[in-house]
Amino acid sequence: LFAGPVDFVKGVTGMAGLPPADRVEVCFAGRSNVGKSSLINALTNRKNLARASNTPGRTQEINYFALGDSRYMVDLPGYGYAEAPVAIVAKWQALLKSYLAGRQTLRRAFVLIDMRHGIKAVDEEILGLLDKSAVTFQTVITKADKVNRETRDETIAQVKAALAKHPAAYPEIVVTSSEKGEGIETLRAVIAGLE
């Protein structure tokens, strides 16, 4: 699946712009700077397919990528900018809510968590939304190469404890490093295996 063509389809700012719901779709959510663009690029083996948009004004688009003609990968705007204006945050939440609740073909939401930070309050908001939307979500820990064994174990334990409170959580966590390639093949297999 990942060896075939990967194309940027479009960036959308509202539900009306979504492409036809005609194939299995997965989405990626995470705090800004969590390593979401790097992960999508590592998965697809591209350097610049997904670009980090570190300007709050540029973060409102949902970006669609097609894996051949059988899967969409959806890059959701990063959340948790300290300086993001209230109106932008509200707009983002509204869009996310309608997307998560209303996208029939969405099979899994990957919630990215930085290995150095674990699950924060702002991540909990997203997990709460996912519980309500009844979309199965799976935690992907990023930047595993940045920490030592001890921190790694601590973060994994913290994430597991937090997930225990969320009915929509898929129990298996994927630990990744886009830098070193850890977990990338595992995550590809998860995506390829969804029906």
DSSP 58: G
Position closest to ligand GDP via CB: 52
107 binds ligand GDP (CB under 6 A): no
Q: Cβ of residue 46: shortest distance to ligand GDP, in angstroms?
A: 13
Select the residue interacting with ligand GDP from 27, 156, 178, 191 (CB under 6 A): 178
183 binds ligand GDP (CB under 6 A): no
Enter the tokens of residue 151: 């921190």
61 binds ligand GDP (CB under 6 A): no
Whichever of 67 and 76 has its CB closer to ligand GDP, that residue is: 76
- The answer to whether the CB of 78 falls within 8 A of the CB of 86 is no
Query: Per-residue contact track with ligand GDP, 25 to 44, x per CB under 6 A?
Result: -----x-xxxxxxx------
Distances (CA, A) of 140 to 17, 50, 118, 175, 178: 27, 17, 11, 6, 11
Q: Cβ of residue 37: shortest distance to ligand GDP, in angstroms?
A: 3
100-125 as b/e: b if 16+ CB within 10 A: beebeebbbbbbbbbbebbbeeebee
Give every CB contact of residue 55 below 8 A, 6+ residues apart in sequence.
none
Give me the residues that bind ligand GDP (CB under 6 A), please.
30, 32-38, 52, 78, 142-143, 145-146, 177-179
